[in-house]
Structure formats: structure tokens, C-alpha cells
Structure 1
Amino acid sequence: MRSMSKALSSVLFLAAACMPLWAQQNRSSEVILKEIQGHHQGMAVWWMGNSGWLVKSGDLLIGTDLDLEAGDKSYPKIHPPPLTPQQLAGELDIEFVTHQHGDHCNVSTIRGLAQGSRTTFVLPQSCLRQVASLNIPKERIIVPEPLHPFDIKGIHVEPIHAIHGNQDFTVLTREPDFVDNIAHNCGYVFNIGGKRILEPGDSVLTEEHLNLKNIDVLFVSPTIHNMYTDRSMILINRLQPSYIFPQHFGTYQVREDISFWTRGYPEELKMNLSQDLQKRYHQLRIGDMFEIR
């Protein structure tokens, strides 16, 4: 019996060692929250899963596309979210959303954040219908438009077009309002803490991306419905960012019918980068913190 137990322990240890880093269990919410609350100098990022990020510069905390819902039967998650909206409601200064899909404009998350009085919401026009029932005061909502920069709480924000992809490397046109979505959905360049941070949102590669200058931090989505690995490489090689963080992977359970947006290829992307760019490439676990120097 002892030998069987020892053998089983060895098998479990080997399975854990072979498990991708992103698939391993999240850090506790208490630890993550204390990190956020205790960070007051410089800049740090935390990956919240999918395309959700927290960025803290000094005492200012912003979020992008936070989806902190536990998941449902249609789209179950691999692990519970690292934080709840209620835990963040007293900490988050601004929540930026790129487009209307529920894994980006997550109504449950926005509802929880709106229950506090701190967070301002940057919501493209395509999201307004979904959050209307939340009755968020108008003064707490900013509606961005691509190519129309604005300033908020000391951040200069440059919205850019986000052209949503779909299955088989196509552009998403099956939704009845896809023309309006193409016109209004946003990626963002954040000018914060002396750095320029690019969050493209869900988008195929565009000339706007390639014409950007002096990008220090890049969040990139190597999925079939976004830039995959080949176009991600084009973007990375053109922008030469100091920090590269893959996103949109390892969050939802992958099924064949939704694999074009739930399965990412972060390891494959890294393997195809130059050795210099590989050193700038940081694949985090959900809940991990990384300091930007």
C-alpha cells in the first residue's frame, strides 16, 4: 500500500510539473489584494485572466476588460477569478472596456464595481445598451471614439480602432450591428507613469497598430480570432516593445466550437521570436504581478 501511495504521489508530482504554468492554481485573492494596496511607487501589472489587466502607477489603479465572473455552463472557466468585483470596487480608479462581448464588457463585473463610488467607466458606444440597467450615473461614464484622444485622472488615452476577428482568421461580420461595432470599438494606448501601454482589444492586425510609436508595454492576443502568432510577430517586430505580455488564453475551458477565441498560442508565439524579444516576453499565471521598470 505504501509503495502504491508513493507511486501515486510521483505521478501527481510529474503531472503538476508538466502542467502549463498558466493552468496551475491561482494565487489567493488576499495576497493579490494586499499587493495592489501596498504598491505605491513605480508601475506594476496583474493579469486577471483573458484580456483583463490591472495596471497601477503610483497610487492610480486602472483595469482593462475585467471579467471577474465565475463563469457559467456555456463558458466555464478553468479557475475561479483571482479577485471579485467587490474586492476591487474600493481600489479601482478607471475600468476601460474595448467592446461589447461578455468576456470583455462583463456586466456582472461592472455591476460589482459600480456598487462602489470610486470607479469611472470608459465604455464604447457598443457597450452602453448592456449596462443601461445598472443605472450608472452619467458622470461616471466616458464614451470613447477611435482616433479621438482624451485625458482622464492624469492619463492621456489614445483610442484606436479594434476590428474584431472570428473563426478561420476572418473578420466578424455575422452580428447585425457589426458596421457600428467596427466604427466604435476601441483599442487603447495609455500614457501613464512615463510609459506607453498598448491594449489592442479583440482585433485583427491593422495599419493603425503598425504606425504606433514608442510603445513600451504590449498586451497581445495570439488567438485565431485576433492576431494569432504570425501577425502578433509582425506587430512585435515592428513596435519592439520593452515588455510583451500574451493574453486571451488559459481562462476558459476550450471546446471545439469556441476554440477560436478560448485557445491561445502563447508558447508558440514566444518560440518564434528572436532571443532578444524572448527576454522581453512574460507569460504570467492568472493573478501574477509583474513590475515594469
Structure 2
Amino acid sequence: MKKILLVSALSVSLFACKQEAKENENKQEISPAVAEKIEKSQEDAIKVMPEEHASFAMKLNNRIFYVDPVGGAEKYNKLPQPDIIFVTDIHGDHMDAETLLALTQENSAIQIVCPKAVRKQLPEELRNRIVVMSNDEEKDFLGVHVKAMPMYNLREEAKDFHVKGRGNGYLFNVNDRKIYVSGDTEDIPEMRNLKDIDLAFVCMNLPYTMPVNSAADAVLDFKPKKVYPYHYRGKDGMSDVEQFENIVTTNNPEIEVEILDWY
């Protein structure tokens, strides 16, 4: 009996040793250089987190960038806390002082980047954290290079909605990748002349910004690798983003269109 128990104990011991050796071997398969590359890849990853309409968050350079948060801070409870916030324009679907106050009250380091017109309408409590950017101005934030882009209407009947110079779109450049956020605009030359865009958020709603055909035509001009239709709820309902996708991908299959859950 003792002999049998001894053999069993030896078998278990040998099995455990083999398992440990195998685990150690697997651990050694990932060299420090590969581990560093994996970590770097995770840091470089761009993650998009839509909230609603024009509001969303992005993970850039391992930091959380909010764009146009509105509707109450509780709407963002499921998202990571912001490291910085960008506001595009003065309208209520882009700028909400109460939401900005609530999102930033516990962290005095959070900056709010916005055009001058937005700053004028925000309360005194937020003034010490505001950074104003004008069209074509460039700054660096948290390791990300940002350019404020023009956004305005072209159609005669819509020119008063968004006048040139008041609001900002934004162009983010991080780890050799460019992300364009259109803000409320039409298919302006500044959009059509963009180059080497990896990811674009493009608005399309009537009567406030532009029709689907114009948005698709502009995208076919500047050829982003990937485009997210956003801000597509208009006065009479939703714009036809499936039509937008069909126009773009039919004319240039290399452009990826992804329709996120905005509404």
C-alpha cells in the first residue's frame, strides 16, 4: 500500500513540475521587447465611446477626451471620467454649463477647450479652466496635437445657423494618426481639403448642417480611412445614414463607414 501511495505521490509531483515548467516556458515566450510593444499598442489605441447626437468620448494617448457633453453628468456615469473636454459651439446640443460644472467639480485639473463665443456664455466658476482656441489655432494637450478647424454653413437659407469663425471643429493628431471632428458645418473647402485623415466624425442634419449627399460628397473628396456619421437628428427626424454609407462605399470601397449607436 505504501508503495502505491509513494508512486502516486511521485506522479503528482512530476505532473506539477511539468506544469510549472510549461507555464514558465510560456511566460518566457514574451520577450521584454514584445511586452513593451504590446503595452505601447494599448496606449496608442483609439477608443470611441458615443453618448448621443454630438456628444462622445475618445481614448487618445491613454487619456479620455470628451466632446460636447450635454444633458447632465449622470448620462456619463458609464464612461471613464474625462481628462479634458472640448466644446464646439454655443448651441444647447453642444454646450451645457451645468453638465460641464458637474463633470469638472471634483477635478480642478480638467481643462475645457472651446471657442471664444462659448467662453463668453459659460459661468465664472468655469473661467479658470477654459482654454480658448480660434479657427486655425494649434495647441498641444496631454500629448495630443490639436488644431481648431472652421465650421460654418454655406447654403443661403442656413447661413445664420453657424457663421464662420464662431465655432470650432477639431483635428486631433496623436501617434501619427489624425482624427477629424466636424462640429456643425457644411461641406466647406476646409473639410474637403483635409489630407491623411484616419478617422472622421461627420455631421449631417437639416436644416442646421448639411444634407446627406453633401456630406457623402465631401467625404469622397478628403477620403478618410474610416468615417462615423454623427449629429444626424434634424428638425424632421433622422437623416438617412444608410444612404450616406451606400453613396460613400459604392464610390470608394476603401472608405469604411461605421454607424454607431447615437440615438
TM-score (norm 1): 0.67
User: Which segments of 5 or more consecutive residues in structure 2 lack a partner in the other structure?
Assistant: 1-41
Residues 169/249 of structure 1: CA separation in 2 closer, same or farther (3 Å cut): farther
* Match 1:193 to one of 175, 191, 210: 175
Equivalent position of 2:217 in the other structure: 234
Are 1:68 and 1:83, in contact at CA under 8 Å, matched by a contact in 2?
A: no
Q: Which residue of 2 aligns with 1:122?
A: 113
The structure showing larger relative contact order (alpha-carbon pairs under 8 Å, at least 6 residues apart) is: 1
Counterpart AA for 2:218 = L
Q: What's the offset of the Cα at 1:82?
A: 4.8
Give the SS at the match of 2:122.
helix
Report the equivalent of 1:209.
191
Q: Is the contact between residue 227 and residue 255 of structure 2 (CA under 8 Å) also seen in structure 1?
A: no
Contiguous gaps of at least 5 residues in structure 1: 1-38, 71-80, 288-293
The answer as to whether partners of 1:62 and 1:95 remain within 8 angstroms in 2 is: yes
Structure with higher Rg: it is 2
Give the counterpart of 1:49 among 28, 32, 52. 52
Aligned residue identity for 1:104: H
Q: State which of 154, 158, 164 in structure 1 corresponds to 2:143.
A: 154
Q: How many residues were matched structurally?
A: 219
Partner residue, 1:112: 102
Change (3 A) 1:116 1:192: farther
Over aligned residue pairs, what C-alpha RMSD do you find?
Answer: 2.6
- Identify if the C-alpha distance between structure 1 residues 213 and 279 changes in structure 2 by more than 3 Å, giving closer, same or farther: closer
Whole-angstrom CA distance in 2 between matches of 1:197 and 1:49: 19
Q: Which of 62, 65, 74 in structure 2 is aligned with 1:59?
A: 62
Q: Is the Cα–Cα contact under 8 Å of residues 228 and 265 in structure 1 kept in the other structure? A: no
- Secondary structure of the residue aligned to 2:190 is helix
Identity level (%): 22
Instruction: For 2:255 and 2:176, locate their aligned partners in 1 and report how far apart those are by CA, in whole Å.
Output: 22
1:171 aligns with 2:158: yes
* TM-score (norm: length of structure 2): 0.74
Q: Tell me which residue corresponds to 1:29.
A: none
Secondary structure of the residue that 1:100 maps to in structure 2? coil
Alpha-carbon deviation of 1:220? 0.9
CA contact (8 A) 1:46 1:54 kept: yes
Contact in 2 for aligned 1:51/1:65 (Cα 8 Å):
yes
1:119-140 deviations in Å (ceiling 9; x for gaps): 210011111232124x1252x2
- In the TM superposition, what is the alpha-carbon distance from 1:164 to its structure 2 partner? 4.2
Tell me which of 198, 218, 230 is aligned to 1:247: 230
Look up the match of 1:268.
Answer: 243
